[in-house]
Each structure stands twice: as C-alpha cells, then as structure tokens.
Amino acid sequence: MTTGGVWSKQGVWERSARRQDYAAPVLERGPRADGKPRFTPGASKDATDTKTVQFVFDRSTTRATILTPSAGKKIRLQRVECLGDVSVTGSAMEEMFFGTGANITTAGNTPVAYYAVNANSGFARTFGKADGPVGTKDQVLSIRANVDTPGNTLGVIEYVEER
C-alpha cells in the first residue's frame, strides 16, 4: 500500500502537495553560536501557554512591579488592558516597562507603553502571538505614573513565559 500521493494519468506516482492549512509546530529556542535562531520541531506554543494576571496600581510616581517571571524565564506580553477607576481625579500619564529602573527612560529598561488613564477610561492593546514586547531573562514588568493623583488603575495582562 502506498500513501502520500496519487497516480497521474500517465501512470506515474506523484507525491501529494502538503495541505495548505498545515503548519508544523515549532518553538523558538536560544540562538545558535552564529547568532541565527534555532527551532525545535514538534514542540508547540499555543493558547494553553497563556497566563493572566490582574493588578491594582495605586497611582504613584514610585515604580511598582506588576509581574515577575519564573526563574530563568522572560515575559512576552500578548494583551495589556488598563482602566482608571471612578475615584480617579485628574489625568495622569502612566508608563509600563520591563526593568527595575526609576522610569521608562532609565537605561536598561525596555518600554512597553506610555498612555493616559482617567476615570472610566483607559488603554488596551493586543499583540500578535509572537509579536508582543518581551523582557530579558528575569526582567520584571513595572508601572508608574508621571504624577501622584488619587485613585487606582485596574489592569489585566495576558502573557507567556519563554526561555
């Protein structure tokens, strides 16, 4: 029994083309010695890898850690959503970034977003599966406001942890 093809009208066995909806599952690994990416066939990174965290940020100019990755891992964001609660008075800009520096412009920090949050308004962003911002290994996700104002920012973050 022969599989994976069809007999042509000329009596020649022709291999079937790969299904158009098929994509081999691959998982990106660390770079090779020459700096090019390396892939592991058969490994899958799917929606079951996605984790969710909710947070409440007391709007302050002091940096706060939202999320800390597992040891030796890095965080890749898939969705960020922030909303000012009804007690927010005035407008403030908030910055979200990877790192432990004082603000988004501190050397070594990786910017994610700079956005305005008011009462009952906010910010939302969804990234492609492998297109979201990613921190370095063991780098935390931080948030801070540009001015101290009363009220909280409520947020939801969806992310995956990578090696």
Kindly state the DSSP code that residue 117 receives in the 8-state scheme: E
pTM score, whole prediction: 0.68
pLDDT digits (tens, 9 = 90+) for 138-161: 999 999 998 888 888 889 999 999
Triad 105, 57, 108: Cα angle to 5°: 20
pLDDT digits (tens, 9 = 90+) for 36-92: 766 555 444 555 588 999 999 988 899 999 999 999 999 999 999 998 887 767 677
What's domain 47-162's architecture? Sandwich (2.60)
Domain ranges (residues) in the chain = 47-162
How many Å separate Cα 153 from the centre of its chain?
Answer: 20
Question: Which of these, 108, 97, 104, 107, lies nearest to 134 by C-alpha position?
Answer: 97
Q: What own/partner pairs with CB < 8 Å and gap ≥ 24 does 5-9 have?
A: none
DSSP 3-state assignment of 62? coil
